[in-house]
Amino acid sequence: MYLQRRNRITRRTAAIRSMVAETALTANDFIAPIFITEGSAVVEEIASMKNYYRRSLDETVKDVKEMWSMGIKSVLLFVKADDDTKDNTGKESWNPDGLMQRSIKTIKDAVPEMIVMTDVALDPYSQYGHDGIVNPEKGTILNDETVEVLTKMSLSHAAAGADFIAPSDMMDGRIGTFRMALEENGYTDVGIMSYSAKYASCFYGPFRDALDSAPGFGDKKTYQMNPANRIEAIDEVLQDVSEGADIVMVKPAMAYLDIIREVKNAVTVPVSAYHVSGEYAMIKSAAERGWLDENKAVIESLTSIKRAGANLIATYFAKDAVRLLQA
């Protein structure tokens, strides 16, 4: 049989496959989410996220130093606020001595070159578990009042030394407000990584376990996006870019690869994607039951996210992936 073209020639050996690979993962691609709690010498496994931990700040510093030594250059901070600090004003979120603010300072002191990104939303601080200020009579989330509080929160993160704030709240108009506030207060070097296309997804469950931040009533569908929508995501992203976002994010990742590609085609700023807790838990659970090879699933999943167009990937597999890539 004569063939003009044999496509299998470039698949014949591992060396050839590597040579012609279109997508390559490196440690530079990863943002490592970390969960921080009060106390000392605390390392608590998150029940729904096997082998992932909530740590006190002293233990977090050890973890961040290890990540830096591995080549991971960026961390995304989430804090578990004590219940007695939660209310419907969010005042703890901008406390200069709050856990987030202390964490930023401590990590930057310990590993100055580490890129520290910080979650900006009210769900860890809300008695209702929502991302914004609640009107309890109507059960609604107040957009403009929330943006005012989140602006104070963002400025407190900048003052503590954050490199990027990462607003995950999905309130309207917040990126432009944050950018103006940062500029007016002299924080001209602080970037914004906006959760621009954040969907109202069922894949966030384990994350809410990690921070005890599940909504106390209803859901988040009035401010997070409908999973059925694609064009709306591009609209959200373009608005955030026009308001001053330096990086835009799609969340979740694996079920939204089409959105990542659409966003990548629409903007010139870097695109990030969040490989979320439910996606992590699915791989871990299936591997534990022997239904798939965890290591192969991790690399294949992350490669698919980058192939779709993500420049950066926030993933709970960051350390595992680097170890696999270096093996």
Q: Say if residue 227 is preceded by a cis peptide, omega within 30 of 0.
A: no
Whether residue 198 lies in the annotated active site = yes
**Catalytic status, residue 251:** yes
Query: Letter for the amino acid at 284?
Result: K
Q: What angle do CA 188, 194, 200 make, to 5 degrees?
A: 160
Judge whether 270 and 280 are in contact, CB under 8 Å: no
Q: Which of 86, 251, 284, 319 is catalytic?
A: 251
**DSSP letters spanning 135-201:** ETTTTEEEHHHHHHHHHHHHHHHHHHT-SEEEE-S--TTHHHHHHHHHHHTT-TT-EEEEEEEEB--
CA atoms within 13 A on the CB side of 14: 0
Give the DSSP H or E segment for 26.
Answer: none
Residue position matching structure tokens 């929502």: 130
The single residue of 86, 108, 198, 284 carrying the catalytic annotation is 198
Tell me the catalytic residues. 198, 251
